[in-house]
Chains A and B, each alone.
Chain A
Amino acid sequence: MNGRPAHRLAAAGVAVGSLLLLGLLVLPVSALVLRGGAAGFRQLGTDAELRASLLLTASTATLATLVAVVLGTPIAWLLARGRMPAAALVGALLDLPLLIPHPVAGIALLLAFGRASPLGGALDRAGIALLGSPLAIGLAMLFVAAPLYVSAAREAIARVDARYESVARTLGDSAWRAAWRVTRPLAGRGLVAAAVVMWARAASEFGAIVILTYNPKVASVLSYDRFNAFGLDAALPVAAVLVLLAVIPLLVLRSLRVRAALGEPAR
């Protein structure tokens, strides 16, 4: 008898709490899109700097994602299959960029790849100017977002039963060939989703990039620059376009999940 009112009270509390949190998430984004969205899309036709920054953002994020996929997928597989030597240390190293503030990540990258560092000096002597280049932007994106890819890819691979690979190996495949022929297609959707998450994270990066390369400007830096130089009204259209573009990877992710739910082969 006493349980029902208590249940109702708890349910009401959960509902109110959920609405508050969702409101907190939706309100700022809605305000931004409502105030700057239309102007932002109009500005895409007239503002060459905005178009260039979006192109730079997309291309560097894509490059960083491709590098992460090529270099990170084997690591993810080794971690998922428990075959990585010093797995705990590697895991900790991969988690580190997720935990440190992004401007600090930028400073660390500056120390490692700046002209004063041995590596940066060598690159400089080889005629590769890293700082202030799209390459540095890609490097910053890779540093902050690649761990997300490896982590999500590891989970996607771990969801594929290792016995598929075992069977493939008794049928003549080497470990890597079995992973390529069997695990890769079975984890395919998860790997694509991991890449999409990484791309979105890389495209929205600001803190690490701004330390390494202020110019040319990626979209997040351009938005910050216009806010500083010309105030809120000038920054709004750029910011709104960035938010609307973030919807694309979100839709891709949703589509992957729906397809997985509808068409995943029975195991």
Chain B
Amino acid sequence: MIEARALGTQAGAFALSGVSFTLPRGAWGIVLGPAGAGKTTLLETIAGVRPATTGQVLLRDVDVTRLAPEQRRLGIVYQHGYLFPHLSVEANVRYGATDRAHAAMVSERLGVTPLYERTVGSLSGGERQVVALARALGPRPDILLLDEPFAALDPRRRTRVRRELHAMQRELGFTVLQVTHDFGEAGTLGDLALLVEEGRLVQAAPPAQLFRRPATAAIAEFLGAENVYAGTAETVDRGGQSGPDTVRFQTGGLTLIGIGTYDGERRHAVVRGEDVVLARSRPGASSARNVLDGVVVEIAPEGALARVTVDVAGVPLVACLTTASVAELGLRQGVPVVAMVKATAVHLC
């Protein structure tokens, strides 16, 4: 279990402050945020290699804020590995290992054993990361802090190592807190996602919730939401005690019906591209509350997917479709379409 209570630290002119979250034992936490947000600083403060200036760090329900890193019984893997260059790969893996059989098992499962005789200088960036992972797991930590540990791995190896590490985590029950820029990784691995910006934790939620219900428009944009609008909103149907309100959101010529609570302030609306359905003509009957007429202005293929931008009353609305759908609908620039969005897919923040 990792718990931060109003945690803060100073790193030169940069300050991390007021970070609070709880990651249950055996869970996999993901730290997201732009470069320079303080993600690595957060890991280092939890590890104790950087002293906390405010707040507390609790590991396994014990306050370790004043304990030295070697007393915290956790492992850390930096993005660049930081393998000891004066030692062989094998000596690196065994550096902190008290149980050689365990270190050998970890190495075998991560595919590090064939690298044992190599010098650190001869390893590729990806190999270094895997060796660093094996080294961190050597002392059997029950908490593992990972700073973009798969960033330098080629896609095939990344999938294999990620799967193996996930399997080991389930078997051995250690808790993981991982920094990543890979949103796919966050969605696949994470039980809890922490979004850090400018040294502050701006949202902590399960990854699905973080992606679908971002707390602010800035978070939505950072997380890659295709449609983020600033506008005004008004309640059209109060849900009362039983549930949320129905809200009408207006931006330029585009009106969206969404679900939420309107408190009279200027609002943002977020619609993810995969929640937009396109058709060539209006459906006879549909449960979608937003049925919008528009014209295709751009189609940007991205592998098997395509981002189709539709002009709706002068406002661009992006839909993510498969390229097969684009072909079947005969979409091209200038084609009139109908865009449909469920009210529950319109997130107001």
Contacts and interface: CB of A to CB of B under 8 A. Distances in A.
A202 B78 CA distance: 42
Contacts of A166: 44, 47, 49, 69, 76, 82
B82 A164 contact: yes
Interface string B124-151: 0000000010011011010000000000
Contact of B69 (A170, A182, A186, A266): A170
Nearest to A182: B84
Contacts of B85: 186, 265-267
A171 interface: yes
Contacts of B72: 170
B44 to A, nearest CB: 7
A5 interface: no
Contacts of A174: 68, 70
Interface in A96-142: none
Nearest to A265: B85
Contacts of A175: 68
B121 interface: yes
5 contacts: A170-B70, A170-B141, A171-B75, A171-B138, A267-B80
B70 A169 contact: yes
Interface SS of chain B: loop
Interface in B97-147: 119-121, 132, 135-136, 138-139, 141
A95 interface: no
Nearest to B69: A169
Given A169-B49, A172-B70, 11 more contacts: A163-B49, A164-B82, A166-B44, A166-B69, A170-B141, A171-B75, A172-B96, A173-B96, A174-B70, A186-B85, A266-B120
Interface residues of A, number: 19
A167 interface: yes
Interface of A: 161, 163-164, 166-175, 182, 185-186, 265-267
Contacts of A267: 80, 85
A175 B95 CA distance: 15
A182 B120 CA distance: 14
B50 to A, nearest CB: 8
A182 B74 CA distance: 19
User: By CB atoms of chain A within 10 A, which of B49, B69, B80, B139 has the most?
Assistant: B69
B47 A164 contact: no
B156 interface: no
Contacts of A265: 85-86, 119-121
B78 A163 contact: yes
A266 B84 CA distance: 10
A177 to B, nearest CB: 9
B47 A171 contact: no
User: By CB atoms of chain B within 10 A, which of A168, A170, A172 has the most?
Assistant: A170
Given A164-B82, A164-B84, A172-B70, A266 B49 contact: no
B174 to A, nearest CB: 14
B68 A170 contact: no
